[in-house]
Structures are given as C-alpha cells and as structure tokens.
C-alpha cells in the first residue's frame, strides 16, 4: 500500500489547533484546498471531527513541523511507515461491533448530508447498515429521527478515512456532469435593437408638425405676455 496520510481532515484539525503552520502548508500536507483549511480554522467545516495527532501515529515528526513553522515556503514531508501492512480486500457489508451499532444512524445522517453523491450501497458498505435504514434516514421517517446528530463515521470508528475517500472518489467518477448553460452577453447590435423595440410608440415616431405647432403657440403666448407688460 502506498504511503498515504491517514484521516487527512482529522489531521488538518489537529495541525490548525496545535501548530503555527500556514493554511497552505496544512492544505498541501493533508491534500485539501486552502479554503477548506481556512473553514476548519473558522469552525465552518469539519465540525464534529476530533483532531488526530500525526506525530503519535508516526506520520509526521516534531522536527518536520518545526521546519514548516520556521519557513512558510517549506512543504511538510510524510514520514515513512515503520511497518508495512498488506492491504486486504473486504467482501460484503462491513461488520459493526455491538457497542458501536447505536452510532450508525448518526453516521448515516452525516454521510447523507455531507456526501449526498454516495449511493445507498456505498453507505451500506461503509457503516454496515441496510438500504431500508438509509432510506428512512434520508426521508426523515426513522423512528429516532428527532434525536439523530450527524457524526463522522471515521471519528466513530465505523470506517477508515481511506475507505471513505475511495467511496467518495468512486461516486464522483460516475456522477453525471451538470450541463453548462451558455450565459455569454448578447452582441451590442442585438441589445441596441432590443432597447429600441422596448421604447414606447410615441418615442419612436414624433409628429414634426405637432411639435412645431406647439412651439409656435408657446411663442405666441410669450409675445402676448410681453406686450401686456409693456402697456
């Protein structure tokens, strides 16, 4: 298995709270967008995710963090794992221990809200549930819907961050692309034509005789007023 950072969002939460690294450095190390790291720092993202110390897990050293804090341009390097664990392929739905089964509805609600692109079969594989339960939580018909709280299944220990990332990538790969609408501006000739068409009829065609007659009458009234004043 390739050397991959485990639980990148939880690691980013810990680095934001416990180091002076820049958002760009954390984003680069955790493979996240800098804006997402900024949202984590503001409390707008990764709510309910408990930070994970990458030093304890052996994925980062204190010396590496110090290098990054002293040099904003430095890019953190992931530590080589001391033990190589072969990747095992799992078949069928995930088994969930009895002690954690009560948390599954909260995890399902979190997945439905944060990753609506996931299919029911993918959610079932991640947390070991049934399609009927997923549908009830989606439609808010679950018997305990009023008391459910969305919680990250990775934090609950129902699945690994790697498994979640794999399922999200699969869903994004097969998701239909939204049609892009052409919202370019109309040519100036067409906009001018539309503006002329919108004008009132009296603005388009002016009666020249009526205009001159009106001016003549006004001028005549003005001359009469001046004669009266002179008398």
The pLDDT tens digits for 197-220 are 555 444 445 556 666 666 666 666
Render 110-127 in DSSP notation, one character per residue: HHHHH-TTS-HHHHHHHH
- Chain mean pLDDT for the chain: 77
Angle at 134 between CA 6 and CA 127, to 5 degrees: 30
Is the pTM of the predicted complex or chain greater than 0.75? no
At residue 13, the pLDDT reads 92
Q: Are 105 and 147 in contact (CB under 8 A)?
A: no
Percent of the chain with pLDDT over 70: 65
Residue 29's alpha-carbon distances to 5, 39, 64, 120, 127, in angstroms, are: 8, 16, 11, 31, 27
Q: How many CB atoms lie within 10 A of CB 45?
A: 18
52/39 Cα distance (integer angstroms): 18
At residue 156, the pLDDT reads 85
Q: Of 15, 24, 31, whose CA–CA distance to 66 is shortest?
A: 15
- Dump pLDDT digits (tens) for 56-112: 888 899 999 999 999 999 999 988 766 554 444 554 455 555 455 678 899 999 999
Q: 173-188 as b/e, with b when 16 or more CB fall inside 10 Å? A: eeeeeeeeeeeeeeee
- Dump pLDDT digits (tens) for 5-16: 888 889 999 999
Q: If you ran DSSP here, which 8-state letter would residue 101 be given? A: G
């Amino acid at each position: 298995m390739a050397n991959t950072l485990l639980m990148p969002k939880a690691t980013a939460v810990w680095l934001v709270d416990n180091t002076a690294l820049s958002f760009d450095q954390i984003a680069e190390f955790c493979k996240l967008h800098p804006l997402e790291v900024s949202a984590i720092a503001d409390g707008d993202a990764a709510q309910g995710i408990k930070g994970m110390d990458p030093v304890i897990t052996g994925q980062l050293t204190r010396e590496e963090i110090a290098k990054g804090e002293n040099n904003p341009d430095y890019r953190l390097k992931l530590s080589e794992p001391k033990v190589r664990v072969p990747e095992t392929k799992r078949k069928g739905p995930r088994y969930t221990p009895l002690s954690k089964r009560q948390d599954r509805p909260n995890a399902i609600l979190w997945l439905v809200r944060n990753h609506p692109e996931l299919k029911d079969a993918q959610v079932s594989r991640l947390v070991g549930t049934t399609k009927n339960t997923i549908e009830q939580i989606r439609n808010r018909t679950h018997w305990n819907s009023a008391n459910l709280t969305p919680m990250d299944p990775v934090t609950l220990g129902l699945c690994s961050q790697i498994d979640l990332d794999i399922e999200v990538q699969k869903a994004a790969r097969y998701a239909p692309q939204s049609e892009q609408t052409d919202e370019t501006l109309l040519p100036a000739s067409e906009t001018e034509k539309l503006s002329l068409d919108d004008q009132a009829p009296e603005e388009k065609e002016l009666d020249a005789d009526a205009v001159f007659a009106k001016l003549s009458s006004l001028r005549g009234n003005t001359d009469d007023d001046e004669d009266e004043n002179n008398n």
